[in-house]
Amino acid sequence: YGKSCNSSSDINRYLLCTSDNLWSCRAQLVYNGSVCQSDVVYSYTTVSYQQECLQNQTMVWNGTSCSPVVVTSLTWNATGITVAGVTGVSGSTPDILNRPTGLSIDSNGTLYITDQYNFRVQKWLRGATNGTTVAGQPNGTIGNGSSFLNIPQAAVVDSNRNVYVADTYNHRVQLWSYDASFGIMVAGTGVSGSANNQLHCPWDITRDSTTGALYIADNYNHRIMRYLVNASSGTVVAGGKGPGTNST
């Protein structure tokens, strides 16, 4: 049992050669440590799960005895369903997107879409045909003021439905509180740079729900920055030594 079918002569009426080229117990038999015997008489109370079922590649423990393994094939639905925007159409109306690049979802299943070339973040309720602007201008106007965005790449939403936006070409991260009409800069200065209080085209963002810390992919600085809550500067947690392929 357990030996190579090629190098062993253990074949007998209790063994079969598996697809792994190893001798194993036949169906309805389990290995007790020395021989194969019926799973009906071989009590689960005297051996472990691994001894009774795991060692037999054709059987699985069902709670009371060993049963044959049933193999099923699971596949994705081959046809997608459009849940936001209009397929193949770009625009700035509430029902249309223009090169969306980021996606976040809250506990209610509401989508928050970084609508990059409309310079906004759209909130899309489940089953809705239109989005609502929660960051940036609804009409898709670009800018660098507190109520504008410039090529936003990503956004993340917290449990209070506040939205943190990687405002990429404004070199900052903006916090748009729930129902706010403007954002507050929580990372970066709005001017590109490589100091610890600066960002250069932040590309992605995530948030630690326990501590509230932001982790920012600082694209052109080749680093990941961590910003603690209310911090004016970040800490490099990955990269920061220029472009390269080394693990450090």
Q: What are the tens digits of pLDDT across the range 96-141? A: 999 999 999 999 999 999 999 999 999 999 999 999 999 999 999 9
What 3 state SS string does 125-156 have?
A: CCCCCCCEEEEECCCCCECCCCCCECCCCEEE
What is the model's pLDDT at position 132? 97
pTM score over 0.75: no
Check pLDDT > 60 for residue 43: no
Long-range contacts, 156-162 (Cβ 8 Å, 24+): 156/104, 156/112, 156/205, 156/206, 156/207, 157/104, 157/105, 157/106, 157/112, 158/207, 158/209, 158/212, 159/106, 159/107, 159/209, 161/106
What is the model's pLDDT at position 75? 76
The rounded mean pLDDT for the chain is: 85
What domains lie within the chain, and their CATH numbers? 15-68 (no CATH), 100-239 (2.120.10.30)
User: Please, are residues 58 and 19 in contact by the beta-carbon 8 Å criterion?
Assistant: no
Residue with tokens 């990059």: 116
Q: Kindly state the helix (H) or strand (E) to which residue 49 belongs, with its residue range.
A: helix 49-49
Q: Rounded mean pLDDT of 14-42?
A: 69
**Cα-only R_g, the chain:** 29
The angle at the Cα of 210, spanning 156 to 171, to the nearest 5 degrees, equals 35
Query: CA-CA distance, 69 to 23, in Å (whole number)?
Result: 17
What is the model's pLDDT at position 42? 43
What is the model's pLDDT at position 63? 63
Check pLDDT > 70 for residue 41: no
Q: What are the tokens at 205?
A: 């963002």
Tell me which of 63 and 133 has the higher pLDDT: 133
Q: What is the pLDDT of residues 45-60, one digit of tens each?
A: 444 554 556 555 566 6
Q: What is the pLDDT of residues 164-217, one digit of tens each?
A: 999 999 999 999 999 999 999 999 999 999 999 999 999 999 999 999 999 999
Q: What single DSSP character describes residue 200?
A: S
Long-range contacts, 26-31 (Cβ 8 Å, 24+): 26/58, 27/58, 27/59, 27/68, 28/59, 28/66, 29/56, 30/55, 30/56, 30/59, 30/66, 31/1, 31/2, 31/55, 31/56
Query: CA-CA distance, 165 to 172, in Å (whole number)?
Result: 8
Of the candidates 71, 167, 156, 60, the one whose C-alpha atom is nearest the C-alpha of residue 116 is: 167
